[in-house]
Amino acid sequence: MMRRIITGVLCVVLCISALSCGKKAQPLPPEPMLSVFWEHATLNMDPGESRELKWISNRPIQPRIYSEGSAVIITGMTQDSVQIRAFEGGIDIISLHIEDQEVLCIVTVNEDMFHFIFDDYDETALPEIKDAVPVTIIVPYTKEYLSPGQETKLTARLENGAYGDEMDFSFTKEPGKHSIAMDSVYNVATIKAIAEGEQYIRISHPRAAQSRIIVYDVLPPAPPPPPSIDVSESPLIVGKGETKPLHILLLNGTTADRNTFQFKVIENAYAITVKQHGNILNVTGIAPGAGKIRITHPAVTRDYDVMVLVD
């Protein structure tokens, strides 16, 4: 009896061990899709009031935050929130950008308290409040290659800037050089390449701590393509006893060179006859077959072969 019990226990243990060994390691779950939103989709504030606006995310993020208008200014930022201050009456939008998502909070600043609070406001302190978040000049590139005569536009913007700041940009050309010409309006400069060489443009803004340099490299003009031969029809098809003109063209050559072509029948001369008049070959079919004409020119390094089919 005892032997049967022991045997049964061993069987159970072996079965459990077999099942345990047969288990496969479970794969790690995929990273969840990013979900982020403001704690408040809308806010109502009075002029001069400061608030902390938090975002809620299912994983740690480092977003970019912008104030789209002038009613609210951003005064600071933490790991999960941004500090804002109502500056003037109106509607503003605080936008959060991360990966391909944009999350908005609409802030309404009451206008009825505006004059009461800001009549004695010291405007000289305003840049210090607005620039609590660093203001940076953003440009689309740092070097651009141009050809003489080419024109391009450069648009600058401010990161963490405010409405109206685009009117205060300054564009300055590198002195003593004349590779480019420039004209600018607000935050857009038009640059035209004049002569070969490098010349930079310095972009500055009173709210940005650092200016930006854009280098324009005007390349020498590309050399013209070499002369080459072309014809009006290839292959040329003629009937037996029929005569057809074949016009020869000199591409990228001078007018004086256009009548100095030479030709030679290099295959099956029995099938065709050819007479030349300047840059025109009159080809006559003599017998069914396929002839080949080779055309040369003193200014062209590569000969041109034309197949002639006589039916």
Say if residue 280's pLDDT is above 90.
yes
Question: Can you say how many angstroms the Cα of residue 155 is from the centroid of all Cα atoms in its chain?
Answer: 13
DSSP bridge partners of 110? none
Say if residue 121's pLDDT is above 50.
no
Which residue ranges form the domains of the chain, and what is each CATH number?
36-130 (2.60.40.1080), 136-218 (2.60.40.1080), 228-310 (2.60.40.1080)
Which carries the bigger pLDDT value, residue 42 or residue 24?
A: 42
Average pLDDT, the chain: 83
Q: Which of 78, 32, 36 is nearest to 57 (CA)?
A: 36
Which carries the bigger pLDDT value, residue 293 or residue 12?
A: 293
> What pLDDT is stored for residue 101 in this prediction?
86
Which carries the bigger pLDDT value, residue 191 or residue 92?
A: 191
Highest mean pLDDT among 61-75, 211-225, 247-261: 211-225
Which carries the bigger pLDDT value, residue 207 or residue 222?
A: 207
What is the rounded CA–CA span in Å between residue 80 and residue 38? 10
Query: Do residues 93 and 105 touch, judged by C-beta distance below 8 A?
Result: yes
Q: What angle do CA 139, 135, 159 make, to 5 degrees?
A: 45
